[in-house]
Structure formats: C-alpha cells, structure tokens
Amino acid sequence: MSQPHRKLTGRVVIATHNAGKLREMRELLAPYGIEAVSAGELGLGEPDETGDTFIANAQIKAEAAAQAARLPAFADDSGLCVDALGGDPGLYSARWAREAGDFPAAMANVHELMHAKGAISGAQRRAHFVSALAIAWPDGHLETFEGKVFGAIVWPPRGDLGFGYDPFFQPDGHARTFGEMSAQEKHGIPADGSQALSHRARAFQSLAKACLG
C-alpha cells in the first residue's frame, strides 16, 4: 500500500546550483507561500548524480540536501532526449554542455550528430524534455513526480529567453521555441487546471496537487 502524500509548508531548500532552474523553481513555489532557500546560499555541496533515471538523480540531490540542511528539500533532474540519438543527451544533458564549453556549443554538437545520422527534417528531428522532481524530508519521507513535453529540434536555435537547450526545442502545437517564450508562458500553471506547457511545470503541477493543495 502506498504511503499518503505529505503536505509541504514553511521553508524548503531548492537543491540546485543552476541559476536558471533556481529561478523557475522559485517562481513555481511562490504562489504557495513557500520560503525557498537555495543549496548554494546554504553552502551545500553537490552530490554525485549516479542514478540511471531522472527520478533517481532528483532523489539523490533532494535527500542529500534534506540531510545536510535538516529541512525539506526540493530537487529537479531534467534533460533533453533526442530520438535520432537514441535518447541522448538525456541524463547527461548538463554534462554534454560542460564538456562542450557551454550550451550553445552543446546544441551545435547535438545538431552535428543528428545531421550525421540523416536526421534533417520532420519526424527525424523529434525530441522531448523530461523533468523529474523530488521532495525529501529529513526523516526520510520522499515524494517524486515526472513531467514530459514533446516537440522537435530546430536549427538554428531561436530566442534568448529561458536557459539551457530552450532555444533548440519547439514544443508541439507552438510556432516558437522555449527560448522565445516568456517564463509565464513556458511554465505558468493554468488557472483552469489544464495541463501546463513545460516539462518542469507539468511535473510541478502533479507535485502541487499532491503536496501543496
């Protein structure tokens, strides 16, 4: 029998050192009156992400922060999965950017690899973003959620909003990339309860219903 959901209140650690993720998570939590402090602000280290799924890596980060800060901790693990590359860069999306030098270089690398495989147009350029969210409490309680958004890789990248691979990805049903969308359009939670757009917002929508309602 699964354990009941636990409500999140008060102060929470956002277990990330990524400025873009931190900004989005704070924006998502703000309407619920949650006081969010980052792992960086608390001087917490970054654990090795040794999991083989997005959920596992989010859990590792959340549990490490919860134990170090003795507060509930909220962590994300996310990535871009390109069909033509067998799901890469996937779990290693951030690592590909570090190894390439930055995200623009990583996007160029992904595009070159796709081109080498003949993934030039249409269905050959399918991709999706995944976001896994975990909330861990110091007593060991854990909640996990996952969201996905499907779309296509565009070249050249468009837009300077968002962060990471956002300018490289055009979600289904939209004419603009994530890099061309405002934060509200990308991850705002619709007041009517319909599905949010971004992968992180979709995962958060599930989390909010379970732990913030």
Catalytic residues: 77
132 secondary structure, DSSP code: E
What count of other Cβ atoms lies within 10 Å of the Cβ of residue 74? 29
Strand pairing category for 35-38 and 126-136: unpaired
Strand pairing category for 35-38 and 11-14: parallel
As beta bridge partners, residue 186 has none
The residues near 135 (Cβ < 8 Å, ≥ 6 apart) are 8, 12, 62, 72, 73, 74, 75, 142, 143, 144, 207, 211
Helix (H, G, I), strand (E, B) or coil at 145: strand
Residue 87 one-letter amino acid:
G
Distance CA 171, CA 166 (A): 10
5 secondary structure, DSSP code: P
The residues near 101 (Cβ < 8 Å, ≥ 6 apart) are none
57 torsion bin: left (phi>0), alpha (psi -120 to 50), beta (else):
alpha
